[in-house]
Structure 1
Amino acid sequence: MLNGIRCRAHPTTEQAKKLAQWIGCARLIYNAKVSEMQYFRTFSRKALGAGQAVIDQAYSQFKDAELTPFLSEVPSQILRNSAVQFMNGWQRFLKGLASPPTHKRKGERDSVHLTNELFRFVDEGLIEIGTKRFPVGTLRFTQHREITEPKSIIVSRKAGRWYVSFNFEDATLAPPRPRDEILADLSHLDEAQLTAMTWAGDRGVRDMLHGSDGQVFHLTVSAVAKNRRRELTKRRLQRRLARQQKGSRRRDKTKRRIAHISSGQAEVRRDFAHQTSRKLVDSPYQVFVFEDLKITNMTRRPKPKQDEATGEYLPNGAAAKAGLNRSILQSCWGNIVLYTHYKAERANKVTIKVHPHFSSQTCSQCGHTSSENRSGKQFSCTSCGFKADADANASAVLRARGAKHIIDGEWREQKAKKTVSFRKRGSERVPQNHVERPVALCAQISVKRGCPA
């Protein structure tokens, strides 16, 4: 079974310079193909009778001895792989799986795809990268498990840190059972048996995850202190950044320091999410239940409030909402569910999401729902008198909902209704009339992008 892995890489100064050049050339080809795609789509809409060009993965039109001589200083496989990546994104768009490919900006998605002609694993933690004509050298990386040599790797750079990621055949992993098959077996159990093997977690800001078994997951004291110190340093650098001149080297240096600090904070949160998900999956529970929270909607800024009489803008609580949004995003809500899902799948366990409506106001004993049941951290049912911690009660409610979700068969996917759609004239299709690429376009794209860095 295929397994993915990402390792920290430690290139030398000269190796980092060459890899940065490879990344820049790959980004140039990708962006040129995106510009070419946008041109032909616009051309097909405005000149319907002239036909439409076939969008493919050709890239030789962007290589020019005068305009782009730097493209001849890297292996041709780098350019080919970048064009293939664009074509894969374009095919996903045609199938309705994603939006059309967009331009990549320097510093956002810096990566280069290397196929097996460009690398070779020579020893544990060592990769020889390059060809005889374009050698990079032996790249050191932190190998923390046994691996088999993959067919391709991705070398990436983020906030000054280098990484090597790839997929490899892992003999220790067996193919997981289908999710529907596991849920079908669980649906035959009675509610008491299913509830006993179900775990539910209520996510919050103060306690990141409160389990139905009473266990509470949160960052360690040292991790919280480390991120707090980093936050103070980042704010100081952000104030400095606001005073610096745009385009200056000192401003770029400050931006890199801020990105490095933010990356370190994200690594702490990511490590917490991985450790938490591993503890959950290694437990004897078979089902893990979470609320189906719309985190993107929950962290939106509030709409402006305007006085109808005077037209003046009124306070809308944006500052307080910004603090709440920051706390939500720092609580790893999404990553905890994401990591638990794929790890549970490998262990032949399931993760389900249930609706979160009134989970903090519903009594887990009698089912009574009222806004008066909860007061801060305490839960006291006004109907039966049950008292408990509010998060513990909410997790118990979610566990009962998860068991009912499986027994009632709500996990079964509904069949989509058949619909008839009509393709508009000028939409994406391959006509018989083929339009050749204009040479001026290729030169314009190359000059506009310039030499990569």
Structure 2
Amino acid sequence: MLQQNVKRLDTAYKNFFEGRGFPKFKNRSNFTSFTYQMGVKVQGSKIYLPKLGWMRFHNSRVIPEGFTIKAATIRKRQNGWDVSIRIEDKSIPDYISKPLNEINSLLGCDLGITKLVHLSDSYQIENPRFSTNKKAKRTLKIRQRRVSKKVKGSNNRKKSAKRLGRLHKKIADKRSAYQWETANKIVSRKVDAIAVENLNVSGMLRRCKVKIDEKTGRFLKNGQSRKKGLNRSISDAGWSDLILKIEYLAVKQGKIVIKVNPKNSSQECRNCGHIDKSNRDGEKFICTHCGYHEHADIGAAKTIRDRAFEIVRGDSTKLAV
């Protein structure tokens, strides 16, 4: 277990030297997980952890026969402790994706906020807005205010913070369950490959650049207050996690996920190729050059599908799987 912590430290410094941020010091209050590489045993509703012994746990997923336990990670959550067990069976063959020359059908996916996903076959998936709907925002605001009004370091503040954390975990669990359901709907469609947007979500969530008046030296408005609400909606949608789940399920079904550059996908006319910001007005798309009109997001999904076809038929080195 101590060796795993040294490996984590090594990984953190490798990330630092590759330009991905300085390692963060973790004391016992924010060090919330540890990993066992050997010695873990499971018997019914009991698990044996080295140095801790046998303890009861809720066995939510029974380990199939023929699998061996390779590692176990213990994580502290707001409602208790979770254990995730990594298992292996070498007799099971790896999943094999369909070759590129056999791809005949593609499904394009355009991610959004009003609707979570728009598909190229005109199907739309709703966005429940788990943390940005009216009720959730009010509840979060009340519980956060209760935490801030308690004395720092007091037991009452810790209790309020724990209650707030449980609400955040409940929202996150709902979002994750809905994403798995959405990913299953997308992957289960009768297509050979799925095209998704290659999004830089962390870049989209960055703060606006500061604007300073050269004469007075005062800060000018830069639109950050308006962008704050958009950032919350993007974070609530969880596009990156949804794409990861789509990729995971696609591999299990032998399908390929192709990541496409989404630039101007919702502003490009599918009839004449004219690109203009004024082509789009909300969910409506009306080309200012030829008058072609359709649903803007569904048209974007079709454009993403067509761009993926160009990648498959052209330069296969651009394919992201």
Match of 2:35 in 1: 113
1:278 aligns with 2:184: yes
Residue among 167, 171, 186 paired with 2:86: 167
Match of 1:217 among 102, 111, 125: 125
- 2:5 paired with 1:82: no
The 5-angstrom pairing of residues 380-399 of structure 1 reads 380-399=286-305
Query: Within the alignment, does 1:307 sit opposite 2:228 as a pair?
Result: no
Tell me the secondary structure at the aligned position of residue 317 of structure 2. coil
Shift of 1:87: 3.3
1:357 to 263, 278, 295: 263
Q: For 1:199-348, what aligned pairs fall within 5 Å after superposition?
A: 199-219=107-127, 224=130, 228-348=134-254
| Higher deviation after alignment, 401-410 or 85-94 | 85-94
Cα distance in 2 between the residues matched to 1:264 and 1:238: 15
Q: 1:141 aligns with which of 39, 59, 65?
A: 59
Which amino acid in 1 is paired with 2:56? T
Provide the C-alpha distance between the structure 2 equivalents of 1:85 and 1:271, rounded to a whole number of angstroms. 30
Contact 1:121 1:149 in 2 (8 A): no
Q: Which residue number in structure 1 is paired with residue 272 of structure 2?
A: 366
For residue 250 of structure 2, what is the amino acid of its counterpart?
A: A
Query: CA distance change for structure 1 residues 128 and 392 in 2, over 3 Å: closer, same or farther?
Result: closer
TM-score scaled by structure 2?
A: 0.86
Helix, strand or coil for the counterpart of 2:139? helix
- Listed as ranges, the gaps of 5+ residues in structure 2 are none
Could you tell me which runs of 5 or more consecutive residues in structure 1 were left unpaired when the two chains were aligned: 1-80, 414-453
Compared CA separation, residues 219 and 127, structure 1 to 2 (3 A): farther
User: For the pair shown, which has the larger CA radius of gyration, 1 or 2?
Assistant: 1
Distance 1:257 1:400 in 2: 48
Partner secondary structure for residue 108 of structure 2: strand
Is 1:153 aligned to residue 59 of structure 2?
A: no
User: Does the aligned pair in 2 maintain the 1:290–1:352 contact within 8 Å?
Assistant: yes
Please list the CA deviations of residues 315-357 of structure 1 after superposition, one character each: whole Å capped at 9, or x if unmatched: 2222211110000111121111111112212222111111111
Task: Report the equivalent of 1:4.
Answer: none
Taking a change above 3 Å as real, the CA distance of residues 160 and 234 of structure 1, as seen in their structure-2 partners, is: same
Q: Distance in 2 between matches of 1:99 and 1:372?
A: 39
Pick the aligned partner of 2:99 from 167, 182, 189: 182
2:237 aligns to what SS in structure 1?
coil
Q: Cα gap change, 1:142/1:172 in structure 2, threshold over 3 Å: closer, same or farther?
A: farther
Q: 1:391 to 1:107 in 2, by over 3 A?
A: farther
The letter of the residue matching 1:259 is G
Q: Is 1:127 matched with 2:49?
A: no
With over 3 angstroms needed to count, the CA separation of the structure-2 counterparts of 1:314 and 1:102, relative to structure 1, is closer
Contact 1:198–1:288 under 8 Å retained in 2: yes
Q: Which amino acid aligns with 2:99?
A: I
RMSD of aligned residue pairs (Cα, Å): 3.0
The C-alpha deviation readout for 1:255-301, integer Å capped at 9, x for no partner, is 11111111111111111111111122221111111121111111112
- What code does the residue aligned with 1:263 have? K
| 8 A Cα contact 1:129 1:139, kept in partner | no
Return the offset for 1:390.
0.6
For residues 280 and 145 of structure 1, do their structure 2 counterparts lie closer, same or farther at Cα, with a shift above 3 Å needed?
farther
Query: Scaled by the length of structure 1, what TM-score is found?
Result: 0.63
2: CA distance, partners of 1:261 / 1:271: 16
- Deviation string 1:128-166 (CA, Å, 9 cap, x unpaired) is 3256x8535332332267464413211211223321112
| Contact 1:173–1:346, Cα closer than 8 Å, also in 2 | no
Question: Are the equivalent residues in 1 in contact too, given 2:114–2:127 (CA < 8 A)?
Answer: no
1:361 deviates by: 0.8
Give the aligned residue type for 1:334.
S
Identity of aligned residues (%): 26
C-alpha spacing 1:101/1:303, structure 2 compared with 1 (3 Å): closer
Contact 1:363 1:386 in 2 (8 A): yes
SS of structure 2 residue aligned to 1:141: coil
1:121 shift after superposition: 1.6
For 2:196, what is the secondary structure of its paired residue?
A: strand
The one-letter code of the counterpart of 1:138 is R
* SS of 1:175 mapped into structure 2: coil
Aligned counterparts of 2:61 and 2:209: Cα–Cα separation in 1: 48
Once the two structures are superposed, residues 304-323 of structure 1 have per-residue CA deviations (whole angstroms, 9 ceiling, x without a partner) of 32222222222222221111
Q: Which amino acid aligns with 1:90?
A: D
Contact 1:113 1:152 in 2 (8 A): yes
Q: Greater CA deviation, 335-344 or 85-94?
A: 85-94
Comparing both chains, which one has the higher relative contact order based on Cα–Cα distances under 8 Å and sequence gaps of 6 or more? 1
> CA shift at 1:100, angstroms?
7.9
